[in-house]
Every structure is written in structure tokens, then in C-alpha cells.
Amino acid sequence: MRILQIGKFFAPHRGGMESHLQHLCPRLAKKVELDVVVFGNPEREFTERFGFRLHRVRTQAVIASAPVSLELTSKIASIPADIVHIHHPNPTAIQAYLASGHKGRLVVTYHSDIVRQKILGKLISPVLERAWRRTRRFMVASPDYIESSPVLSRYRSRSIAIPHGIELEEQRTPTEAEVAAIRARFPGGLLLAVGRLVGYKGFEYLVDAMSKVAESGNAAQLAIVGVGPLKENLTSQITRLNLTGRVHLLERVDDLAPYFAAADIFVLPSIDRNEAYGFVQVEAMAYGLPVINTNLQSGVPFVSRHNETGLTVPPCDSGALAAAILDLVQDTAKRKTFGHAARERAYGEFSAEKMVERTLSVYEEVATEPA
């Protein structure tokens, strides 16, 4: 079976969709003949081989976060495949696929609705609907998202939940010295958050929650790992709340493993459905970290379950975040119970191997369906 996957970018570019492709494609290529088309730099188109063929087409522009390549349509048309598998949101790729006239059966991994670019979403809605009508299967990271999405809820019969997985066996075990160094740097207990410093991540509510934690007399510290446009705003907030030395913005961390191993709690304070899954939760859970997340209408609370692998609180509620933090930092037994369950859930549900098995099953179903 020959498969053509179309994404946005690929490593070393970072992002949720990119991480998903990076975990999926190498394992998938051991089972099928695989081509992957993504957007690349503006200078030249080129192909790399990683056990599969990775084609990077030139990116001439980016419009409302959607990359545009004048070569994408012809590239799709030039690659024969039994199944075309598009990762969405990726509206220009959808448009290019339709224009290419490709005869491969269409499968879509639906990472999220188009939430932020509402005007763009309305403009391209007729194009997307053409694609959705011919889509044989929608693969979605969680059953919750199928029900909450205005698109997927109309295509329930063709939607299947396949949780995104990671290479759990490749999770690095840091040395005791690495872990000890980080714990010494953040005495009093370490709360860890990871993500781009952008609005939907809700980090301002987490910083505000830390003010309440400090007022309680608890000595826990918070490290937020990430870069983004809200760094200055968050820095000002930290200063205003007298949290310098308690809340730390870490811009560049090449290896998160020692931080996951040294932390006591992982926090994902996202505030809207742009956070469709919270992939980093799985990484934290694999290290045995309990998770505090938010009750979004997305896959976030599906990944880490309330009162099982952590605590789930309402979004945009710094008081509830603070209460959850204090609950876990003050109750070592509960923290350890949740952390053990988190690790069990990560390895039981979110391995790359299981994700690939489920994806292959979808391919086989689609390939044998009547035309």
C-alpha cells in the first residue's frame, strides 16, 4: 500500500502537528510505502529520505498562519498513492489536494477546528466542505473532540478516535546529578509548564495562581519553558506580583527530560480549544508526573483525567488553579498515586506503536471499501 501524507512542516520545526508526524512517520514507513509532503524554506524544493521520502516544497508566503506554496498542487499530483492522508488545519493543502485531481482515497487527521482565524475559516469553508464530503475517515486524537467540534459532530459515523502517541521507549532517563542540579535550583518543589507564550496557553492565570500559592506560605516554584510574543507581558506580571525568584521563564531548554524528572507537578492552564490535545501532557505523564489541566471542550481532559492522573479545573480560573496546586503539593500520597496512574495511562494508551497500529487499521478499512 502506498500512502501520501501532507502536513504543514517537519522537524526541526516545532509544533504539535510536527511532533505527531515525527512520531508517526518513521514507524509507519516500516509497514507501507510512504511519501510525506510538507512546506519548507522559500529558496528551494528538496527531498530527504528517512525510511520514507520527505518532500519539502518552497513556501512563498504565510497568510493567517497558513503556509502557501505555488508548487504544492503539482507535487501532490506527481506522487501516486492509494490513500492521501492530510493533517488539518492545513487549508492550503486541502485546496491543493482538490486542485491536483489526485485519485487517492482521502483520510484526514483532524488536529483541531480553525479557531483563531475566523475570517479565513469562513472564506475557505466551501473548499473545506468539498473535501469533507469525500473524506473516508476523520482520525481524531480524542472522542471528546468529535462531540465538541461543529465539523466532526456532523461526520460522527466517519470519525474515529486515535490518541496521538510518542516514542515512549525513547524517553531519556536523566542522571541523578542532572535531576539534583535542577531541584537545587528550584528549592521548595517544582511546578513545570511547557508551551509557546501565546494567549490560549493561559499562562497569565497560572502566574496569578502562583501569587495565591505564595500568599499561602507554600514555597513551591514554577518554571515555564517556552518562547513567544507574551514574554514581556508575563515578565511584567511576575514583577508586579512580586514573584521574581518564584516564577521563572526559561526560553531555551534543549532537553526537557531532567525537568520532567525533577518536577513534582505538570500544569497545562490552557484557556480555549486552540489547545486541542495538549501533547506535552503525555510526555509529562510518561515521567510519572501528575497533571493539572483545564476542562476544555477538547481532548485536553481526555489525556489526563480528573481525580485519576491529576486534577482538572475550569479554564481562566486562577483561584481554582491555585487550589489544585496547593492540594497536590501538600498531599504527597495523592501526588504519588496520580503520578503512578499517569505513567500507566501514558504507556497504556499513548505509545507510538499503538497509534501506528490503529492508523494502519484505518488505512486497511478504507482501501477495501467500495469505490
On whether both 59 and 22 belong to a single domain, the answer is yes
Domain extent at residue 326: 169-349
Backbone φ and ψ for 262, nearest 5 degrees, come out as: -90, -20
| 270-283: pLDDT as tens digits | 999 889 888 899 99
Closest CA to 262 of 173, 201, 334, 166: 173
Cell of 320: 481554582
On whether both 261 and 147 belong to a single domain, the answer is no
Q: How many domains does the chain have?
A: 2
Mean confidence (pLDDT) of the chain: 94
In the block, which residue shows the cell 517556552? 226
On whether both 191 and 70 belong to a single domain, the answer is no
- CA dist 309 and 287 (Å) reads 12
On whether both 127 and 175 belong to a single domain, the answer is no
On whether both 247 and 178 belong to a single domain, the answer is yes
Helix (H) or strand (E) holding 59: none
Which residues are CB-contacts of 106 (< 8 A; sequence separation ≥ 6)?
83, 84, 86, 97, 131, 134, 135, 136
Give the pLDDT confidence score for residue 122 in this predicted structure: 72
Report the length, in residues, of the chain: 371
| 44-54: pLDDT as tens digits | 899 999 999 99
On whether both 217 and 303 belong to a single domain, the answer is yes
In the block, which residue shows the cell 503556509? 67
Which residues are CB-contacts of 15 (< 8 A; sequence separation ≥ 6)?
8, 9
On whether both 182 and 330 belong to a single domain, the answer is yes
Residue 119 pLDDT level (bands cut at 50, 70, 90): low
Contact 313, 320 (CB under 8 A): yes
State the pTM of this model. 0.84
| 57-111: pLDDT as tens digits | 999 998 877 899 999 999 999 999 999 999 999 999 999 999 999 999 999 999 9
How many other CB atoms are there within 10 angstroms of residue 99's CB atom? 14
Residue 123 pLDDT greater than 80, yes or no? no
On whether both 82 and 151 belong to a single domain, the answer is yes
Q: Half-sphere exposure (CA, 13 Å, Cβ side) for 189?
A: 20
Cell of 366: 478504507
On whether both 113 and 194 belong to a single domain, the answer is no
Give the pLDDT confidence score for residue 118 in this predicted structure: 62
Coil vs helix vs strand at 63: strand
Give the pLDDT confidence score for residue 117 in this predicted structure: 60
On whether both 270 and 364 belong to a single domain, the answer is no
CATH code of the domain in which 29 resides: 3.40.50.2000
Give the pLDDT confidence score for residue 21 in this predicted structure: 94
Task: For the chain, give the percent of residues with pLDDT over 70.
Answer: 98
| 216-274: pLDDT as tens digits | 999 999 999 999 999 999 999 999 999 999 999 998 898 999 999 999 999 999 999 88
On whether both 173 and 278 belong to a single domain, the answer is yes
On whether both 124 and 224 belong to a single domain, the answer is no
